[in-house]
Amino acid sequence: MSFVQVEFLGFFLTVFALYWAFPTVKLQNRVLILASFTFYGWVHPWMLALLAAVTLVNYGAGRAIVARPEWGGRIVGATVALCIAALCGFKYFGWFVEAFAEVLPDSVRLLRVGLPLGLSFYTFHNLAYTIDVHRERVKMEPNVETYLLYGSYFPQLVAGPVERPSNMMPQFNTPRQFDVELVRSGFGLALWGAFKKIALADTISPYVDAIFAHPDPSWAMVWAGALGFTVQALADFSGYTDIARGTSRMLGIELMKNFDHPYMAATPMEFWQRWHISFSTWLRDYVYLPACFSPWVRRYVTLPFTGEWSPFWHTTRALFITMLASGIWHGSTWNFVVWGLYHATMATIYTAILAKLPKKLKKQGGWRWVTVPLQFGVTVLGMYIFREPLLSNSWARLQLNPFDGSREQWIVATSMVGLCIAASLPLVAAMSFEKFVLPKVERAPWLLPLQTTAWAVFAIAVFSSVRTTATDFIYFQF
Amino acid sequence: MSTLDKLNDVFREVFEDDDLTVTRTSSAKDVAGWDSVMHVTLMIAVERAFGVRFKSGNVAGLKNVGELADLVDRMKAGG
């Protein structure tokens, strides 16, 4: 089930009413487990088996680590290998069949194996628990029901945020009281998320698709399309996250923030602190830092020719490993590999340059006025590489003459840029209101009517923009 | 000199800022430039200053400078 399906409204209202009708945590958790499995098995009930398997394997691993701490490393290794093998099996089966079609028997070649919805997200989410139990950052959860809920909680199940046990377990184990303020705030957040997804992202989406599908675009069309996808990606994914966080808040469970105005970043490193934060920090804690600090790396991987352990060499190498892993995770086409390497290269270049610049310069008022637009350019190019599956197309189209193009092509490019500006206005207005106005007027008597009016506008925009053929969230495919 | 004072010196050296003062509650959000890349550089500098050796499990998920100071104290005590 998707948040933007009409069925979800009925589903959530039922869950919401049932959930708050029960007085104890135990019963509320049971409602949420039942709801999560209904939500996930709505279209393909067989996928429930996979969700239950991943969840129970990690629950068992947590218990085993505590029972046999001396085997902790091996248990974590085996659990990670098993879960990642299952993920890769589903994710790259199509690629594997295509690559080895000539030598594979028909029985394998004709199999159609799709990626189960959200498999990546709940695999990462569950692995975080097993690794953190081993690292002694969280306590093992003895209650299988609480763990089932952690592993399958529906608001964040299919596309994150990739939560951590240290944030979720205490909330699942604490009594939750109905709080009208939380429900109101959660509803507003979810409605804002739906507005971003349906009124903004889905409105731009067909135009972006048309430009990327155009066989012979001009240079201006290429960059306008890239800009369009940059706006669409943020509205789509942050919209999804806000619906997830909002619905969860209405149930008294707070999910972590996943976006923090990423296009206001001044450097690639800052961008990853603001974009898809839950996954960026997951990669940092479970891929990047082990690639720097694991005892094996420190013993055997040293600076070429010197045998020394250099921070710059190790951070750079770890950065490339992490971004390559991120690229490969996003898909089996080469553009994702290049996208990962591109971001690692940019982060390395920025790190090297920033280290040489005087501290005073970075503290000057105009610093961000220069660096934020520059980083936005880096982001747009990254988005273009991400969206265009054919590298040959990317390479050829980025080399086009900027001044070429027919009158119609210039009109298309200009219209796309205009659409991007129009779609960005609500995002910029919301950011400015949240940062500059809200702190000063939190107790103003007119704030509530203003908020209600804004909600009405969002609701009208959502219902007038919704199409019968609603597009899926971009991140559902990963 | 307390662990926190010594950590403060390390922070000043790594972030090249003599005016920087960290407290137990300081986190990456409070220190300009404390990103993933600088985190590794910082951890190496802390290792060298205190004569300890971190594993990835130690340095991942540190919430603030207080947790880092406690970690260093535990490792120095052999825990």
A285 contacts in B (CB within 8 Å)? 60-61
Tell if the CB–CB gap between A293 and B17 is shorter than 8 Å: no
Per-residue HEC secondary structure of chain A comes to CCCCCHHHHHHHHHHHHHHHHCCCHHHHHHHHHHHHHHHHHCCCCCHHHHHHHHHHHHHHHHHHHHHCHHHHHHHHHHHHHHHHHHHHHHHHHHHHHHHCCCCCCHHHHCCCCCCCCCHHHHHHHHHHHHHHHHCCCCCCCCCHHHHHHHHHCHHHCCCCCCCCHHHHHHHHCCCCCCCHHHHHHHHHHHHHHHHHHHHHHHHHHHHHHHHHHCCCCCHHHHHHHHHHHHHHHHHHHHHHHHHHHHHHHHCCCCCCCCCCCHHHCCCHHHHHHHCCHHHHHHHHHHHHHHHHHCHHHHHHCCCCCCCCCCHHHHHHHHHHHHHHHHHHHHCCCHHHHHHHHHHHHHHHHHHHHHHHCCHHHHHCCCHHHHHHHHHHHHHHHHHHHHHCCCHHHHHHHHCCCCCCCCHHHHHHHHHHHHHHHHHHHHHHHHHHHHHHHHHHHCCCCCHHHHHHHHHHHHHHHHHHHCCCCCCCCHHHHC
CA-nearest of A261, A445, A442 to A368 is A261
> What angle is formed at CA A362 by the lines to CA A360 and CA A364, rounded to 5 degrees?
70
Instruction: Tell whether the model's pLDDT for residue A344 goes beyond 60.
Output: yes
Whether B18 and chain A come into contact, CB under 8 Å, resolves to no
Q: Kindly identify which residue of chain B lies nearest to residue A291, measuring between CA atoms.
A: B56
> In angstroms, rounded to a whole number, what is the distance separating the alpha carbons of residues A29 and A154?
12
Instruction: Tell whether the model's pLDDT for residue A106 goes beyond 80.
Output: no
Instruction: Tell whether the model's pLDDT for residue B54 goes beyond 90.
Output: no
| pLDDT confidence bin for A283, thresholds 50/70/90 | very high
Looking at residues A92-101, what average pLDDT do you find? Answer: 77
So what's the pLDDT on residue A452? 86
| pLDDT confidence bin for A307, thresholds 50/70/90 | low
Q: With contact defined as beta carbons under 8 Å apart, do A38 and A32 qualify?
A: no
Q: Give B2 to chain A, closest Cα distance, Å.
A: 25
Q: For the segment A377-408, what is each residue's pLDDT rounded down to a tens digit?
A: 999 999 999 998 888 888 888 888 888 888 99
Tell if the CB–CB gap between B40 and A273 is shorter than 8 Å: no
Tell if the CB–CB gap between B44 and A137 is shorter than 8 Å: no
B60 contacts in A (CB within 8 Å)? 135, 137, 284-286, 289-290
B54 contacts in A (CB within 8 Å)? 293
So what's the pLDDT on residue A451? 85
Q: Kindly identify which residue of chain B lies nearest to residue A311, measuring between CA atoms.
A: B41
So what's the pLDDT on residue A24? 92
- 10 Å CB burial of residue A296 (0-12, 13-18, 19+) is exposed
Cα–Cα distances in Å, from A353 out to A165, A359, A361, B17?
37, 12, 13, 18
| pLDDT confidence bin for A471, thresholds 50/70/90 | low
Q: Give A271 to chain B, closest Cα distance, Å.
A: 10
Tell if the CB–CB gap between B55 and A166 is shorter than 8 Å: no
Q: For the segment A21-52, what is each residue's pLDDT rounded down to a tens digit?
A: 998 999 999 999 999 999 988 877 888 899 99
> In angstroms, rounded to a whole number, what is the distance separating the alpha carbons of residues A226 and A359?
34
Q: How many domains does chain B have?
A: 1
> In angstroms, rounded to a whole number, what is the distance separating the alpha carbons of residues A153 and A18?
16
Q: Kindly identify which residue of chain A lies nearest to residue B44, measuring between CA atoms.
A: A311
Phi, psi of A175 (to 5 degrees): -60, 140
From the list A135, A272, A292, the residue facing B57 with the nearest CB is A135
So what's the pLDDT on residue B79? 59
> In angstroms, rounded to a whole number, what is the distance separating the alpha carbons of residues A26 and A34?
12
A164 contacts in B (CB within 8 Å)? 61
So what's the pLDDT on residue A119? 86
B64 contacts in A (CB within 8 Å)? none
A292, A313, A317, best to mutate vs chain B, most B CBs in 10 Å = A292
CA-nearest of A135, A137, A198, A126 to A162 is A126
Q: Give A67 to chain B, closest Cα distance, Å.
A: 20
Looking at residues A347-364, what average pLDDT do you find? Answer: 84
So what's the pLDDT on residue A59? 96
Residue count of chain A, please give it: 478
Tell if the CB–CB gap between B37 and A293 is shorter than 8 Å: no
Instruction: Tell whether the model's pLDDT for residue A109 goes beyond 70.
Output: no
CB contacts under 8 A, B 19-38 vs A, are 28, 32-33, 35-37
More confident residue, A292 or A75: A75
Mean pLDDT of chain A: 88
Whether B74 and chain A come into contact, CB under 8 Å, resolves to no
Instruction: Tell whether the model's pLDDT for residue A116 goes beyond 90.
Output: no
Q: What is the CATH number of the domain that holds B71?
A: 1.10.1200.10
| pLDDT confidence bin for A70, thresholds 50/70/90 | very high
So what's the pLDDT on residue A112? 67
So what's the pLDDT on residue A301? 64
B41 contacts in A (CB within 8 Å)? 311-312, 315
Which of A77-81, A166-170, A456-460 is the least confident region? A456-460
Query: Is A261 an active-site residue?
Result: no
So what's the pLDDT on residue A47? 85
Percent of chain B with pLDDT over 90: 32
B54 is in which domain, residue-wise?
3-76
* Residue B28 DSSP label: T
The residue type found at A165 is: P
So what's the pLDDT on residue A82? 95
Active-site residue identified among A125, A134, A276, A330: A330
Looking at residues A239-261, what average pLDDT do you find? Answer: 94
More confident residue, A446 or A97: A446
From the list B37, B44, B61, the residue facing A351 with the nearest CB is B37
Residue A468: Cβ within 10 Å count: 5
Phi, psi of A104 (to 5 degrees): -90, 145
> In angstroms, rounded to a whole number, what is the distance separating the alpha carbons of residues A200 and A465?
9
Looking at residues A357-379, what average pLDDT do you find? Answer: 88
B31 contacts in A (CB within 8 Å)? none
CA-nearest of A162, A359, A138 to A279 is A162
So what's the pLDDT on residue A282? 92
Percent of chain A with pLDDT over 70: 93
Handedness of CA A471, A388, A336, A403 (dihedral sign): negative
Looking at residues A167-175, what average pLDDT do you find? Answer: 93
So what's the pLDDT on residue A113? 65
More confident residue, A330 or A380: A380
Q: Kindly identify which residue of chain B lies nearest to residue A132, measuring between CA atoms.
A: B57
More confident residue, A361 or A199: A199
